Amino acid sequence: DAGVIQSPRHEVTEMGQEVTLRCKPISGHNSLFWYRQTMMRGLELLIYFNNNVPIDDSGMPEDRFSAKMPNASFSTLKIQPSEPRDSAVYFCASSPQLTSGTDTQYFGPGTRLTVL
Amino acid sequence: EDKVVQSPLSLVVHEGDTVTLNCSYEVTNFRSLLWYKQEKKAPTFLFMLTSSGIEKKSGRLSSILDKKELFSILNITATQTGDSAVYLCAPYNFNKFYFGSGTKLNVKP
């Protein structure tokens, strides 16, 4: 199993540009999570999907952030326009079935985003 | 408001020491609590605890949950330099995982 796949691994962009982060969950997993991690704020849950449907996006910082999951094997997190304070490592994680209460999450390697 | 507090925030020990990391939580509709180890990359799963008082072990690591007092501890015996990492606890309530700020463990040779 390839695990959770994220791309790109590193992204450097200028303020105002659009950034799209991509995630492929583990095959057969029904839940997908997007996290952001910074030194100041630690690990934060941004949004999660269950069976491709967004369940809780209360962690999305503002309207500049949007996430989609068009099918069970792909999700995107988009930032438009990007700002320097968005610089962070963005993790995607997947879980077999969120509602079972017995499953854990498997994290991807993360995308390190730097906004200049 | 749901919250998770980990203590200590950081810890420096020498190889061979035993450490205890704490995680207290207040999470509505609590279901289980997970522990993760994070080095310089993504978190990796250590334990999932659902039942109170049942210790889970994996080598030199063990963990237990107290659902009455709302806390969990992670023990590491005979620490090694490879145990140096940030340890995160994450209570879970069917809707989301609540990550604590972590305990940074530094094991010196």
pLDDT digits (tens, 9 = 90+) for B65-101: 999 999 999 999 999 999 999 999 999 886 677 888 9
* CA pair distance B103, B106, nearest whole angstrom: 10
Q: Do A101 and B102 touch (CB under 8 A)?
A: no
Q: In this predicted structure, what is the pLDDT of residue A57? A: 83
CB B7 within 8 A of CB B100: no
Residue A53 is encoded by which pair of tokens? Answer: 């449907």
pLDDT digits (tens, 9 = 90+) for A75-96: 999 999 999 999 999 999 998 8
Q: Do A91 and B34 touch (CB under 8 A)?
A: no
Closest CB to A107: pick one of B42, B92, B101: B42
Q: How far is CA A103 from CA A8, A25, A85, A109, B93, in A?
A: 27, 15, 33, 19, 12
Query: What does B50-106 look like in DSSP terms, one character per residue?
Result: -STT--EEETTEEEEEETTTTEEEEEE-S--GGG-EEEEEEEE-SS-B-----EEEE
Query: Which of the two residues, A8 and B53, has the higher pLDDT score?
Result: A8
Q: In this predicted structure, what is the pLDDT of residue A43? A: 86
pLDDT digits (tens, 9 = 90+) for A26-64: 999 988 999 999 988 888 889 989 899 988 787 888 899
Residue A101 has pLDDT above 50, yes or no: no
Which residues of A touch chain B, with CB atoms under 8 Å apart? Answer: 33, 42-45, 48, 55-56, 91, 98-99, 101-102, 104-110
Contacts of B101 in chain A (CB under 8 A): 42
Catalogue the E-assigned strands of A2-104.
5-7, 10-13, 19-24, 31-38, 42-50, 53-56, 65-71, 74-79, 88-95
Q: How far is CA B38 from CA B3, B54, B101, in A?
A: 20, 24, 12
Closest CB to B42: pick one of A55, A101, A109: A109
